[in-house]
Amino acid sequence: MSTGSDSHRTDEWSAQKRAVEDRLCPCQEGMRPEVDAPRRNLLLTAGALFGVAGFLPGSVKAAINSAPPGALRYNVADDPTKEPGRPLLEDGGYGSRSQFEAEVRIKADNPTNITSWTFTPLSSQIGNLTPSGLHFERHHGGIPTIDPSRHTLIVHGLVNAAKKFTVADLKRMPSVSRKHFIECSGNTLTEWAKPTAKNVQASHGLLSTSEWTGVLFSTLAREVGLKPDAQWVLGEGSDSSVMTRSIPIEKMLTDGMIVYGQNGEAIRPEQGYPLRLLLPGFEGNTQIKWLRRLQVSDRPFMTREETSKYSDLMPDGRAKLFTLAMDAKSVITFPSADMMLPKPGAYEIKGIAWTGHGRVQSIDVSTDGGRTWMPAKIENLAEPMCTVRFSFPWVWDGTPVTLQSRCTDETGYIQPTRQELVKLRGLSSVYHYNAIQSWAVASDGGVSNVHA
């Protein structure tokens, strides 16, 4: 259970972290070692300087004497080969990250912490999987604390025999582990009319990828027996908003999962502990957290979250319902907005691509605002409804440029330009913005969010 003191310490660390970052180059680590040391090296060096000179700003001293969330502070030896390290299990038996790693989620700028969301720091992600502690969040009634020994999942409705499953029951059933992304359909919603987000975390950070472990819904369907007219399934959560969404039975039977594991451990409370519905490639809101009930029906339930919310308003004033699968999308994470390239020279453009319609087939990169395109390298195996990392070697000559990426999935669908998307959808939509993202690199190396 969180406490006021925990919240105060988190706020204090966030303020200290911002103070440190204000003094650091926002350029990707390693891009200019001769000018700006990497962040972890600067913190290490600053610690040594503080012991000798004591002239560092107070906010930086405070940050050095703190540890970021998920880490513990330890003294740094002048020469770690000359003295023993710390004993085992000083972290209590659950590993902590290094005190020199400070990436955190950031919260949306809205007045409540109960109905809100946080963004994954995409630009600092290493590899293709998001650490569980950095997976984005979207909550409609806060994060409930649920005792798994008291939690059950009821499957009923148009079935031959309604059944109640405990968490232990589900863990005894045949399980699968699969890598899939989850994207909130409101990801990038600020960018419809004008470039708004300060950086890629704020523009595209409602996206995360994990390895999920659980039971296929098809296994439960065999347990209860589906009646011939079963067409839809209502998922219901145990949070105070009692989140409910209608899911086509075809999707549930194809690859729907009831998951209890994430990245090799139990799913985190903010991700739905102890049970979550996982629907690969569907919008995040349908993937009900704290899952407690699945009701089978012959029609959708037309709940609030799929009528007044999570629908797509079209230019003619009508709204499209149940646009559930996320279309192909990509974004360059380096260089991206709020970064600084130190000088002309060789760089590696990096980014992420994904689609809710199977596998990513290819990614192209443009360094001239979309006039010409060149193929990027996909760095990991393309799996169904899973992100891929891509890279592209680039030599910047110091002149202003606009960087873009576009994704093509295995259906042949090509990520649209903003102009193409707005022509189709207008400017009244909120959800499912998947237009090509543009980053402008100025002659001084500063990178900003633009529409091109």
Mean pLDDT by 10 residues, the chain (452 residues): 44 47 46 37 34 40 68 94 94 94 94 94 97 97 98 98 98 98 98 97 98 98 98 98 98 98 98 98 98 98 95 94 98 98 98 98 98 98 98 98 98 98 95 98 98 95
pLDDT at residue number 34? 33
Cα torsion at 260, 271, 408, 333 (round to 10°)? -130
For 399, residues 6+ apart whose C-beta sits below 8 A from its C-beta are 443
Query: What are the distances in angstroms from CA 229 to CA 141, 201, 233, 249, 314?
Result: 34, 44, 12, 10, 32
Asked whether 328 and 437 are in contact (CB, 8 A), the reply is no
Q: How far apart are CA 425 and CA 420, in angstroms?
A: 9
Q: Strands 401-409 and 438-441, how do they pair?
A: antiparallel
For residue 226, the one-letter residue type is L
According to the model, what pLDDT value does residue 205 have?
98
Range list of β-strands (E), 265-416: 265-266, 276-278, 291-297, 312-313, 319-320, 329-334, 345-354, 360-366, 374-375, 377-378, 388-396, 401-409
Residue 42, SS3 per DSSP:
helix
* DSSP tag of 328: P
Question: CATH 2.60.40.650 occupies which residues in the chain?
Answer: 329-450
Task: Tell me the residue type at 425.
Answer: R
Q: Cis before residue 131, ω within 30 degrees of 0?
A: no
Q: What burial class does residue 314 get, using C-beta atoms within 10 Å of its C-beta: 0-12 exposed, 13-18 middle, 19+ buried?
A: middle
Q: How far apart are CA 134 and CA 441, in angstroms?
A: 28
* 138-320 to CATH, choices 3.90.1150.10, 3.30.420.40, 3.90.420.10, 3.40.50.11810: 3.90.420.10
What pLDDT score was predicted for residue 65? 53
Which residues is 153 bridged to in the sheet?
Answer: 165
Among candidates 113, 205, 234, 223, which has minimal Cα distance to 165? 223
Spatial neighbors of 414 by CB under 8 A, at least 6 apart, are: 328, 406, 407, 408
Q: Give the closest residue to 411 by CA, choosing from 284, 326, 314, 331.
A: 326
What is the reported pLDDT for 110?
87
pLDDT for res 52 = 32
Angle at 445 between CA 439 and CA 450, to 5 degrees: 20
- CA dihedral sign, ordered 369, 375, 376, 382: positive
CATH 1.20.1440.130 holds for 329-450: no
| Phi, psi angles (nearest 5°) of residue 232 | -140, 155
∠ Cα 17 119 127 (to 5°): 90
Q: Which two tokens stand for residue 136?
A: 């984005």
Indicate where the chain has its CATH 3.90.420.10 domain(s): 138-320
